[in-house]
Amino acid sequence: MHSAEPRGYLTSNEVERLIFYMQSPHYIARMEASITAGIARSDPARSMLLPYVTSLLSDPVGPVRQVAAFTLGKIGDKNTIAYLEPLLNDPIAGVGKLAQEAIIKLQKKEVAPGK
């Protein structure tokens, strides 16, 4: 039996590793790190990762922006919506759609009972 953290909870070493990869010159590393950040369930991990994922919204590579928008829909909050709105008119197909979906998800999160 494993005594590791429950699934979805990132250790501080994993968070540091994700931050490192989100700043990589290799776009696939940035994409994969952003995807992985989407499983963060603990508040400390989210608060540490949020600025780095948000910074990927202005990445020069369209698919990185797509993944960042998707991830922010999972780990973001109402303050994140303002960062997603500029992507609604992104020239890369799919970026605007994922930004819109993330915004809707965050708006619903804010009105959910018990939040």
**pLDDT-derived band at 2, boundaries 50, 70, 90:** very low
pLDDT tens for residues 10-36?
888 999 999 999 999 999 999 999 999
Question: pLDDT for 53-100, tens place per residue?
Answer: 999 999 999 999 999 999 999 999 899 999 999 999 999 989 999 999
Q: What's the chain's average pLDDT?
A: 88
Which residue type does 48 have?
M
The predicted structure's pLDDT at residue 5: 43
Domain boundaries, the chain: 12-111
pTM over 0.75: yes
Give the integer Cα–Cα distance in Å for 111 and 44: 22
- CA-nearest of 77, 60, 59 to 68 is 59
Q: What is the CATH number of domain 12-111?
A: 1.25.10.10
Q: Which amino acid is at 3?
A: S
